[in-house]
Amino acid sequence: MNNNVVVTGVGVVSSIGIGKDKFWKNLLAGKSGISAIEQFDTSTHKRHNGGEIKHFDPTRFIHSRHIKYYGRASQMAILATKLALHDANITLAEVKREKCSLIIGATMPEDSSLDFSSEDLLKNKGGRITKTQVLNTFPPSLCRNIGMFLKIKGNNLLIPCACAAGNYCIGYGYDMIRSKETDIAIVGGAEAISRIAFQGFQRIYAMAPETCSPFDKNRTGMLLGEGAAILILESEENALKRKKDVYARVAGYGLSCDAHHITIPKRTGLKKAMANAVKNAGLTPDDIDYISAHGTGTGQNDKEESAAINELFGGKRVPTSSIKSMLGHTMGAASAIEAVTCCLAIKNGEIPPTINYTTPDPDCDIDCVPNFSRKHAVTAALNNSFAFGGNNSCVVFSKN
């Protein structure tokens, strides 16, 4: 048999829909998930909007007496994992029995509601901090909580590579399956909006006043979002044995580090990661039909990503969209949600739009699929993900 790795299930929790069907329908419709933040008071801030998930009720799938043990990111990740396993026709009993690995990406600590300082604690302003809250301040608590809730006893790993984390997890799961270290890889990312991240992105002047407008000449920055996405990876041989349809094949991935600046990307590093992914997939740039852009809506990121795309693809205008225009930047969950988008684009032959686009920018001379989705056969999709520190990860998905 071949050594192909395939995606057999996906689960999404997002501000435009929970579950792959609602998410995809609203994504193609160009629906915005941006609204005023309600989880904490933003009245003292200059910015107030984000991709917050409204009416999220974890008691529908986690018993009320257990809710206190899981922060919001874990709750979303648990739901996304359950949805993905169901989509892949894999039961929890099978997960416990099979050789199964859990690889999750994140940026902030799991319990991001803990926005306290040591000074406040010393002055007794922090109130009573529970043992559960303290345990959930450690980043690995996210994958630990998913594993404990679902009784997944295989490899359990958190990759905290910020905005590129989801793609790193996919690449790691891909390697584990090809090397036969695991039979099933549950991979993805999750992130909840936190006050500290909300304040932080304002402090570095990266946050837009109201809307995120990637690649638009008058773009004003990014917006924070939250959510979770999980993909089920397994060998093609295993999927055939189970008679399970697949969304796409994980064709390959590429990594690089700009080694340039903490927040400013460099096109040479971005191009290297994309080129590595395409080469690792055994393809050429001419084979790529769709690019899911990192596309944050910040001035420098969009300019550098556009330049890197044009250099690598030599003038070929590959349809390239940023769903962050609808969801905001979901940080640790971003590239996982965008990976699901690539799989659905391949499966359905449609490409989601970049919304809020009004004025072309000569520095972003790409086909950003402005404002409206597009019917377009996709045989190979490139998923771009670039994190602070210049940590870049790209994954290529292809039609099975």
362 — pLDDT class (breaks 50, 70, 90): very high
pLDDT for position 116: 54
| Residue carrying structure tokens 């045989």 | 379
369 in any annotated domain: yes
Is residue 379 in some structural domain?
A: yes
376 is a catalytic site residue: no
Query: Does residue 61 fall inside a structural domain?
Result: yes
pLDDT (0 to 100) of residue 350: 98
Residue-wise pLDDT for 2-19, tens only, equals 689 999 999 999 999 999
Question: Taking the chain, what is the end-to-end CA distance rounded to the nearest angstrom?
Answer: 14
Q: Give the separation between CA 66 and CA 150, rounded to whole angstroms.
A: 13
Q: Binning pLDDT at 50, 70 and 90, where does residue 169 land?
A: very high
Whether 328 and 231 share a structural domain: no
Count of the separate structural domains present in the chain: 2
Is residue 122 over pLDDT 80? Answer: no
- Do 292 and 186 lie in one domain? The reply is no
Residue 108, domain CATH: 3.40.47.10
Do 22 and 119 belong to one domain? Answer: yes
* SS3 label, residue 365: coil
Q: Which range (18-22, 241-245, 354-358) has the least confidence?
A: 241-245
User: Of 241, 267, 295, which residue is a domain's last?
Assistant: 241
Same domain, 235 and 342: no
Calculate mean pLDDT across residues 186-204. 91
Strand-pair category, 380-387 with 35-36: unpaired
What integer pLDDT is reported at residue 63 of this predicted model? 82
394 is catalytic: no
Q: Indicate if 120 and 214 belong to the same structural domain.
A: yes
Residues 276 and 331 in one domain: yes
32-76: pLDDT as tens digits: 999 999 988 899 889 999 999 998 999 888 887 778 788 899 999
* Same-domain pairing of 22 and 143: yes
**Highest-confidence segment of 34-48, 84-98, 350-364:** 350-364
Q: Is residue 317 part of a domain?
A: yes
Q: Is 199 exposed, middle or buried (0-12, 13-18, 19+ CB in 10 A)?
A: middle
What CA–CA distance (Å, rounded) separates 262 from 356? 28
Range 227-233 average pLDDT:
98
Do 125 and 194 have their domain in common?
yes
How confident is the model at residue 112, as a pLDDT?
A: 53
**pLDDT-based confidence at 315, cuts 50/70/90?**
confident
DSSP letters along 295-331, please? --S-HHHHHHHHHHHHHHHTT----EE-THHHH-B-G
345 and 285 co-located in one domain:
yes
Q: Are 168 and 114 part of one and the same domain?
A: yes
pTM score, two decimals? Answer: 0.94
Is residue 80 over pLDDT 90?
yes
Q: Which of 241, 267, 289 is the last residue of a domain?
A: 241
One domain for residues 104 and 234: yes
Domain membership of residue 246 (yes or no) is no
The answer to whether residues 301 and 222 belong to one domain is no
Domain boundary among 209, 241, 273: 241
| pLDDT for residue 98 | 79
Asked if residue 96 belongs to a domain, the reply is yes
Of residues 100, 169, 212, 294, which has the active-site annotation? Answer: 294
Q: Is the pLDDT of residue 357 over 90?
A: yes
Please compute the mean of the pLDDT values over residues 313-325 and round it to a whole number. 96
Select which of 212, 329, 364, 368 is catalytic: 329
Catalytic (active site) residue 100: no
Active site residue: 100, 161, 163, 394, which one? Answer: 163
Residue 323 covered by a domain: yes
In a domain, 247, yes or no: no
Tell whether the model's pLDDT for residue 120 goes beyond 70: no
Provide the pLDDT confidence category of residue 293 given band limits of 50, 70 and 90. Answer: very high
* Average pLDDT score, the chain: 92
Domain of residue 291, residue span: 252-398
